[in-house]
Amino acid sequence: MKAGIIGATGYGGVELFRLLNSHPHVKQVILFSSSNAGEEFTSIYPQMDTEQNHRLEELKPEEMKEELDVIFLATPAGVSTQLTPELLGGKAKVIDLSGDLRLKDGSAYTKWYKKESASSAILEKSAYGLPEWNKEAIQSADLIANPGCFPTAALLGLGPLVSEGIVDPSSIIIDAKTGVSGAGKNPGAITHFAHLQENFQIYKVNQHQHIPEIEQQLTEWSPETVPVTFSTHLVPMTRGIMATIYLTLKENQTLEELKSYYESCYANEPFVRLRKEGQFPGTKDVYGSNYCDIGITLDPRTNRVTVVAVIDNLMKGAASQAVQNMNLLFQYEEKTGLPDLPVYP
Amino acid sequence: MKAGIIGATGYGGVELFRLLNSHPHVKQVILFSSSNAGEEFTSIYPQMDTEQNHRLEELKPEEMKEELDVIFLATPAGVSTQLTPELLGGKAKVIDLSGDLRLKDGSAYTKWYKKESASSAILEKSAYGLPEWNKEAIQSADLIANPGCFPTAALLGLGPLVSEGIVDPSSIIIDAKTGVSGAGKNPGAITHFAHLQENFQIYKVNQHQHIPEIEQQLTEWSPETVPVTFSTHLVPMTRGIMATIYLTLKENQTLEELKSYYESCYANEPFVRLRKEGQFPGTKDVYGSNYCDIGITLDPRTNRVTVVAVIDNLMKGAASQAVQNMNLLFQYEEKTGLPDLPVYP
Amino acid sequence: MKAGIIGATGYGGVELFRLLNSHPHVKQVILFSSSNAGEEFTSIYPQMDTEQNHRLEELKPEEMKEELDVIFLATPAGVSTQLTPELLGGKAKVIDLSGDLRLKDGSAYTKWYKKESASSAILEKSAYGLPEWNKEAIQSADLIANPGCFPTAALLGLGPLVSEGIVDPSSIIIDAKTGVSGAGKNPGAITHFAHLQENFQIYKVNQHQHIPEIEQQLTEWSPETVPVTFSTHLVPMTRGIMATIYLTLKENQTLEELKSYYESCYANEPFVRLRKEGQFPGTKDVYGSNYCDIGITLDPRTNRVTVVAVIDNLMKGAASQAVQNMNLLFQYEEKTGLPDLPVYP
Amino acid sequence: MKAGIIGATGYGGVELFRLLNSHPHVKQVILFSSSNAGEEFTSIYPQMDTEQNHRLEELKPEEMKEELDVIFLATPAGVSTQLTPELLGGKAKVIDLSGDLRLKDGSAYTKWYKKESASSAILEKSAYGLPEWNKEAIQSADLIANPGCFPTAALLGLGPLVSEGIVDPSSIIIDAKTGVSGAGKNPGAITHFAHLQENFQIYKVNQHQHIPEIEQQLTEWSPETVPVTFSTHLVPMTRGIMATIYLTLKENQTLEELKSYYESCYANEPFVRLRKEGQFPGTKDVYGSNYCDIGITLDPRTNRVTVVAVIDNLMKGAASQAVQNMNLLFQYEEKTGLPDLPVYP
């Protein structure tokens, strides 16, 4: 099997490369880059030196779609909108890690991303690649919209309760925290070490482009869905997302009942792990892995539920979830080529 | 003026020492430690070597209360309950940085701290040392209960709205994040660098002992107060607290109206700084200072208000707020001996 | 194949578990712990939750040596001295990650480790597990003394020049830097996050117990060896070692000549990567991998050579080198079960 | 007294602002910036909001040199070469924090900085601002070349031995480590948090522009001086420099003798602190202060001396040393306006 990565020099791309490079069913990984075509990959990432080194190739969609089995787009917003139409229709299946193809409503994309959206034909074609909730659609698709990092954590945390119809829809608050690798490889004032170290910051308050993605899936689970409150914070660390989710129930339920929804939803999901009562995961518990770890509690003083979901933003929030989707697309065992345990400490 | 610090070897104590050492009205700082009496302070903190070095003294309350002008208690929970009665009644005024004397209701203390509370006589005597809201009581007191770090941030953020009576009391959620110095100097699994680095964690969910302290003050501002949701997270950094506060209003108000409450509350407060519309502080903005920086916004999609308040937990959350209280107790200008600007970067 | 880990709850042990858990030739990993026998491994490491969970077993050397194919000791100094005699003589091969069996001279062990040494019979039996320089002895051994983290970096950096006999032996200075995970899992003042963050420290100056291990191997390469200068520094990070090595040559040589020694030494070594002229590795370049990356230069102003060698102290400096040794012991391909690429960013 | 800062928006500039803002003899601080003239300082540094806010002024050398008492240049290499001639000759004294005026030999500047040097008239005029070794020249100068961060640490560590004439000049190796704020405020690949975190790196091996500055002062102390080996490493932290210095003595001396040279050199220096035998400072011991802490030992195995000197690169390595120089220039007590204790933890 031959895999291609477009945008291989970004953080999502290099993480994809690491995973595909050791995937047992991937014979060859070909790296594409519009800005660095012709260069050795190791001239940009000397640490990615391995026996079989790679040159960054120029993008030739016509050839790529026939010669490759799967193409990953790890590109900034707007690129997939342009490229996807040219990459489809041949042999290759396409997995897009950007936000371009996630929103079924093109006008919502334009509103939140301030860019022209893909055509509705393309948007309809794409399956939302959250395997724990959309496995069938993924398995039969040619085009996957890999979920955003925040929506992955938030939705895996909210799904069992919202899909059950027991949540007061106006009560949902998602207080999210992320490591800085989510901001990408390009240096800027916000990612400068001296600024970020010892600095916990909030950003894009009520304005993050992942909001409509979260609400789209919530609406699918529950038509009562109304706008949610979603805040994003920057943690002085490289990897990891925690979504601390607050909500109230329509009617009182016990913690045991609540936990049972999670257990039945995720009983057969190899990448969701539920914590015992009174225990909550930290982001390092999933570092370098494809896991989403979840803890839940109910406060008897306020009757409010707190759900905590953590992922590695570059893995379950991007690259390893894309490989999980590839496994599903090609009928491989879902865990193939994905690490079984996180890196600790 | 002679100042004494009991518990000088903890993080709060050493920070107090640094501040008092350069306070223009403090001639002498005497350090007390029950566990290390007799040792040089620099044998524990070699970096605190200065021209006039200090030996850790044994506690002699009878003498201390006559010879010292002010005594700071920077001790673990339970110690002040024992010591305060012996320290009062002489010349010295007492500022307690622990949680022992903050709750007027001794049974609440026992419930949340799992320890015997101070006598109601002592609890009544103590003034809650949040200068921005309790200046008069502080100025005429002999005993100050210096606020907890989380309550300082949460209450300065909530005060202008709650005291105005415009907040739906059941809607308040405080999602708090802190650097690890708040956990104190004793090493443990949770403060091990290899565990904490790249690890964002949640802890004491709905169970933090600062909850009743927050609610006590909220109740003072608004009798409608009901239990709030309060979550604490550990950030891989040393100093800094951010409280991200969510609430809904009883009736719609504009952001301008909301901001005006903050402006009038804090117009004459030298240590509260309000951010311009659309701007929010990060914890590094107050690093090493006594400031509380606050940002606020209103989400038109959800009608929910978000307030962000940051402090340095060892400064405004402990030592520098204690010095601010000392300044008030002794009628010094409130900013005396406190840094005018944060350390950056 | 069945593998056992003694001391599974330490940092070396948990990293070994992660690697062995996904090693294609290891059917079963059994975890032993004297202090936590009977507990679930996930009660200590909840993040190590996988489909097949593990209980910590009691140590029964008599049974272990017959039922297991390989036993790893990831224990503090002194334990292997006691246990190894009981573990040998059966089916199991033994790989010791501690410092107990590395020094052939028992009295040197006693001097530097302040503990009784293993018997000379055991010390003679053990092969020093630095595969790049001792492959044959490893392949035919029953007992491996896995190298220390600092010696691994220092020796891989020094080997090509010292074994060539061109180095002035009295000129060697090794300025080493390590992340804090090398200090182990037990919390202490030195590993407290608030103390270590923003703190670069030097420790055990001229007194580190890895000094005799380095000198023993240098002496094997060159009988002219004299004591070296070796300094260790603690970096505010979790993983990674850099050895910056300074030396002068007996006679002038060009940088090209120097590089050619490295190239011929390591041409067939899959885990040593040499950097191009003018380039030097950082510790993150080998994060989570078994690589040792090396850069070298010659200063025309001083005629001094600088060699820079980096490893991940928990991987090539401990667990993954132990697995590399296991692969050699059992005639598996040397890279089996070891990650091909480092984790980045 | 009126002070001006040119280049106020860089890290050196903002730290100078913080110090001058609370200096008891400085009535007014005026900030200049060529790139941001006209903007509020708080639009760039919102955390520097204080009662008396500042607008960034345009540079008008003719007026500045008459109206200001002292002008600090906290500018990139090359700027002071241009500006200094225009700033001298009036009332103002000038303190240059850049490397432009430190090397008396203009051709050395051109060689190492790859820029045209200042005129020899200017270079002769400037006094090298290392107060512990050049106090008299500083006190009578109009123009100060404030030392580089690495030279400050290296020279304070080497001075007592080299000036004594007891060091083998060819043996000196300075292995230096720095936090990232030394690289300045402009973001780049090397300062990206995700790249730097968990990454200890070496850079500019044998090529750092601070080498000739160190050698110039060593030559002044000892005419036997030959080129030294000087390596710089980047530590994942914001502030702090450690210089680990290795050298051999011409003739054997005891550690007590060596220590006595330090004690007599620095007996009256308020900002140099010597550690007791067997103790060494870490960078956090001087965080936010003007101290240089020094530890020293002698290895009986190798007869090699190790000296460890630490500073805060933005303080003693830049801004606070500049203020110390200002104090000397204006006959204020040397410690005026400088913090007495470091920030810890």
- The 10s digit of each residue's pLDDT in D151-201 is 999 999 999 999 999 999 999 999 999 999 999 999 999 999 999 999 999
List of chain B residues whose C-beta atoms are within 8 Å of the C-beta of residue A199: 237, 240, 282-284
* Residue ranges of chain A whose CB lies within 8 Å of a chain D CB: 11, 179-181, 185, 187-189, 191-194, 196-198, 236-238
- How far lies C265's CA from each of C129, C261, C341, D20, in Å? 17, 6, 22, 58
Suggest the residue from C17, C47, C271, C274 to mutate for an interface test with chain A (most A CBs closer than 10 A).
Answer: C47
Which residue in A16, A95, A141, A149 is the catalytic one? Answer: A149
Closest CA to D282 of D252, D245, D310: D310
The chain-wide mean pLDDT, for chain A, equals 97
- By C-alpha distance, the chain B residue nearest A299 is B206
Q: Are the C-beta atoms of B257 and B277 separated by less than 8 Å?
A: no
Q: Is residue A236 very low, low, confident or very high in pLDDT (cuts 50, 70, 90)? A: very high
Which chains reach chain A with 3 or more Cβ–Cβ distances below 8 angstroms?
B, C, D
Q: Are the C-beta atoms of A95 and A117 separated by less than 8 Å?
A: no
Is residue B265 flagged as an active site residue? no
Q: Is residue A39 very low, low, confident or very high in pLDDT (cuts 50, 70, 90)? A: very high
DSSP code at position C66: H
Distance from CA of A113 to the nearest CA of B (A): 17
Q: With 90 as the cut, is the pLDDT of residue A298 above it?
A: yes
N-term to C-term CA, chain A: 34
Residue B144 CA from chain centroid, whole number: 12
Mean of pLDDT values over C92-113: 98
Which chains reach chain D with 3 or more Cβ–Cβ distances below 8 angstroms?
A, B, C
Q: Please answer yes or no on whether C192 and B187 come within 8 Å at the CB atom.
A: yes
Mean of pLDDT values over C155-163: 98
Out of C197, C201, C301, name the one closest to residue D227 (CB): C301
Q: Give the three-class secondary structure for C86.
A: helix
Q: Please answer yes or no on whether C192 and B189 come within 8 Å at the CB atom.
A: no
Q: Are the C-beta atoms of D335 and D272 separated by less than 8 Å?
A: no
Give the model's pLDDT for residue C51.
86
Q: With 90 as the cut, is the pLDDT of residue D245 above it?
A: yes
How far apart are the C-alpha atoms of A235 and B235, rounded to whole Å?
7
For residue range A92-117, what is the model confidence (pLDDT) as tens digits? 999 999 999 999 999 999 999 999 99
Q: Is residue C52 very low, low, confident or very high in pLDDT (cuts 50, 70, 90)? A: confident
The chain-wide mean pLDDT, for chain D, equals 97
Q: Is residue D52 very low, low, confident or very high in pLDDT (cuts 50, 70, 90)? A: confident
Q: Give the three-class secondary structure for C5.
A: strand
List of chain B residues whose C-beta atoms are within 8 Å of the C-beta of residue A169: none
How far apart are the C-alpha atoms of D102 and D144, rounded to whole Å?
9
DSSP code at position C130: -
**What is the greatest pairwise CA distance in chain B?**
62
Q: Are the C-beta atoms of C239 and C179 separated by less than 8 Å?
A: yes
Q: Are the C-beta atoms of D230 and C301 separated by less than 8 Å?
A: no
List of chain A residues whose C-beta atoms are within 8 Å of the C-beta of residue C45: 344
Mean of pLDDT values over C47-70: 95
Residues with Cβ within 8 Å of A223's Cβ and at least 6 positions away in sequence, in order, are: none
Residue B42's φ and ψ, nearest 5 degrees, are: -70, -10
List of chain D residues whose C-beta atoms are within 8 Å of the C-beta of residue A189: 187
List of chain C residues whose C-beta atoms are within 8 Å of the C-beta of residue B237: 197
Q: Give the three-class secondary structure for B162.
A: helix
Q: Please answer yes or no on whether C191 and B193 come within 8 Å at the CB atom.
A: yes
> Is D34 exposed, middle or buried (CB count within 10 Å of its CB: 0-12, 13-18, 19+)?
middle
Q: Please answer yes or no on whether B206 and A240 come within 8 Å at the CB atom.
A: no
> Is B1 exposed, middle or buried (CB count within 10 Å of its CB: 0-12, 13-18, 19+)?
middle
Q: Are the C-beta atoms of D50 and D135 separated by less than 8 Å?
A: no
Out of D201, D205, D240, name the one closest to residue C200 (CB): D240
Distance from CA of B241 to the nearest CA of C (A): 14
- By C-alpha distance, the chain A residue nearest C294 is A47
How far apart are the C-alpha atoms of D161 and D249, rounded to whole Å?
9
List of chain A residues whose C-beta atoms are within 8 Å of the C-beta of residue C314: 345
For residue range B88-140, what is the model confidence (pLDDT) as tens digits? 999 999 999 999 999 999 999 999 999 999 999 999 999 999 999 999 999 99
Q: Please answer yes or no on whether B236 and C193 come within 8 Å at the CB atom.
A: yes
Q: Please answer yes or no on whether B188 and C193 come within 8 Å at the CB atom.
A: no
Q: Please answer yes or no on whether B187 and C187 come within 8 Å at the CB atom.
A: yes
Closest CA to B164 of B255, B258, B268, B256: B258
Distance from CA of C236 to the nearest CA of B (A): 8
Give the model's pLDDT for residue C90.
97
List of chain A residues whose C-beta atoms are within 8 Å of the C-beta of residue B227: 299, 301-302
Distance from CA of C280 to the nearest CA of A (A): 10
Look-up of token digits 């501040």: B19
Cβ density class C308-342: b for 16+ within 10 Å, e for less: bbbbbbbbbbbbbbbbbbbbbbeebebeebbbbbb
Q: Give the three-class secondary structure for D310.
A: strand
DSSP string, A38-60: TSBHHHH-GGG--SS--BPBPP-
Mean of pLDDT values over C197-214: 98
For residue range D86-132, what is the model confidence (pLDDT) as tens digits? 999 999 999 999 999 999 999 999 999 999 999 999 999 999 999 99
List of chain B residues whose C-beta atoms are within 8 Å of the C-beta of residue A234: 282
Out of C177, C205, C304, name the one closest to residue D280 (CB): C205
Which residue in B14, B16, B149, B154 is the catalytic one? Answer: B149
Secondary structure element (H or E) that encloses residue C201, with its range: strand C201-203
Q: CA dihedral defined by A261, A266, A268, A272, rounded to 10 degrees?
A: -160
How far apart are the C-alpha atoms of D35 and D58, rounded to whole Å?
9
DSSP-derived pairing of the beta strands D304-311 and D241-248: antiparallel
Q: Please answer yes or no on whether A194 and D238 come within 8 Å at the CB atom.
A: yes
How far apart are the C-alpha atoms of C114 and A44, rounded to whole Å?
47
Q: Please answer yes or no on whether C21 and A341 come within 8 Å at the CB atom.
A: yes
Distance from CA of A46 to the nearest CA of D (A): 13
List of chain A residues whose C-beta atoms are within 8 Å of the C-beta of residue C295: none
Q: Please answer yes or no on whether D236 and C235 come within 8 Å at the CB atom.
A: yes
Domains of chain B are: 2-147+317-329 (3.40.50.720), 150-311 (3.30.360.10)
- By C-alpha distance, the chain C residue nearest B192 is C192
How far apart are the C-alpha atoms of D162 and D221, rounded to whole Å?
6
> Is A336 exposed, middle or buried (CB count within 10 Å of its CB: 0-12, 13-18, 19+)?
middle
DSSP code at position D101: T
Out of A191, A193, A237, name the one closest to residue D180 (CB): A193
How far apart are the C-alpha atoms of C142 and B151, rounded to whole Å?
61
Residue B297 CA from chain centroid, whole number: 25
Give the model's pLDDT for residue B193.
98
Lookup: tokens for D331: 């006959």
List of chain A residues whose C-beta atoms are within 8 Å of the C-beta of residue D180: 193-194
Which alpha helices (DSSP H) does chain D contain, by range?
11-21, 41-44, 61-67, 79-87, 106-113, 120-125, 131-139, 149-162, 193-196, 211-221, 255-266, 319-329
Q: Give the three-class secondary structure for A84.
A: helix
How far apart are the C-alpha atoms of D98 and D76, rounded to whole Å?
6
Q: With 90 as the cut, is the pLDDT of residue D302 above it?
A: yes
Out of C11, C194, C196, name the one closest to residue B181 (CB): C194
Q: Are the C-beta atoms of B88 and B74 separated by less than 8 Å?
A: no
For residue range D226-241, what is the model confidence (pLDDT) as tens digits? 999 999 999 999 999 9
Give the model's pLDDT for residue A188.
93
Q: Please answer yes or no on whether D345 and B238 come within 8 Å at the CB atom.
A: yes
Q: Are the C-beta atoms of C243 and C202 separated by less than 8 Å?
A: no
Mean of pLDDT values over D46-68: 95
Q: Is residue A283 very low, low, confident or very high in pLDDT (cuts 50, 70, 90)? A: very high
How far apart are the C-alpha atoms of B48 and D239, rounded to whole Å?
18
Out of A200, A205, A282, name the one closest to residue B242 (CB): A200
Q: Are the C-beta atoms of C9 and C56 separated by less than 8 Å?
A: yes
Out of C195, C229, C239, name the one closest to residue D302 (CB): C229
Q: Give the three-class secondary structure for D306.
A: strand
Closest CA to A31 of A52, A47, C285, A316: A52
Q: Please answer yes or no on whether D343 and B288 come within 8 Å at the CB atom.
A: yes
Give the model's pLDDT for residue B51.
85
Which chains reach chain C with 3 or more Cβ–Cβ distances below 8 angstroms?
A, B, D
Lookup: tokens for A113: 């991303």
Residues with Cβ within 8 Å of A213's Cβ and at least 6 positions away in sequence, in order, are: A99, A102, A103, A147, A148, A151
Q: Please answer yes or no on whether C185 and B196 come within 8 Å at the CB atom.
A: no
Q: Are the C-beta atoms of A228 and A239 separated by less than 8 Å?
A: no
Closest CA to A58 of A76, A20, A31: A31
How far apart are the C-alpha atoms of A96 and A139, rounded to whole Å?
15
How far apart are the C-alpha atoms of B146 and B148, rounded to whole Å?
7
The chain-wide mean pLDDT, for chain C, equals 97
- By C-alpha distance, the chain B residue nearest C189 is B187
The 10 Å Cβ neighbour count of residue C37 is: 13
ipTM for the complex shown: 0.97
Q: Please answer yes or no on whether B244 and A235 come within 8 Å at the CB atom.
A: no
pLDDT tens for chain B, 345 residues long, are: 999 999 999 999 999 999 999 999 999 999 999 889 999 999 999 999 998 889 999 999 999 999 999 999 999 999 999 999 999 999 999 999 999 999 999 999 999 999 999 999 999 999 999 999 999 999 999 999 999 999 999 999 999 999 999 999 999 999 999 999 999 999 999 999 999 999 999 999 999 999 999 999 999 999 999 999 999 999 999 999 999 999 999 999 999 999 999 999 999 999 999 999 999 999 999 999 999 999 999 999 999 999 999 999 999 999 999 999 999 999 999 999 999 999 999
DSSP-derived pairing of the beta strands C201-203 and C143-145: unpaired
Which residue in D68, D149, D241, D242 is the catalytic one? Answer: D149
Out of D22, D273, D345, name the one closest to residue B49 (CB): D273
Beta-sheet strand order (sheet of A201-203): A201-203, A229-234, A173-178, A241-248, A304-311, A292-299, A272-274
Residue B112 CA from chain centroid, whole number: 18
Residues with Cβ within 8 Å of A131's Cβ and at least 6 positions away in sequence, in order, are: A138, A269, A271, A321, A324, A325, A328, A334
List of chain B residues whose C-beta atoms are within 8 Å of the C-beta of residue C236: 193
Q: With 90 as the cut, is the pLDDT of residue D296 above it?
A: yes
Q: Are the C-beta atoms of D237 and C200 separated by less than 8 Å?
A: yes
Give the model's pLDDT for residue D16.
98
How far apart are the C-alpha atoms of D240 and A198, rounded to whole Å?
15
Secondary structure element (H or E) that encloses residue A245, with its range: strand A241-248
Lookup: tokens for C308: 């820079």
Q: Are the C-beta atoms of B137 and B324 separated by less than 8 Å?
A: no
Give the model's pLDDT for residue A51.
85
How far apart are the C-alpha atoms of B55 and D252, rounded to whole Å?
38
- By C-alpha distance, the chain B residue nearest D10 is B345
Q: Give the three-class secondary structure for A71.
A: strand
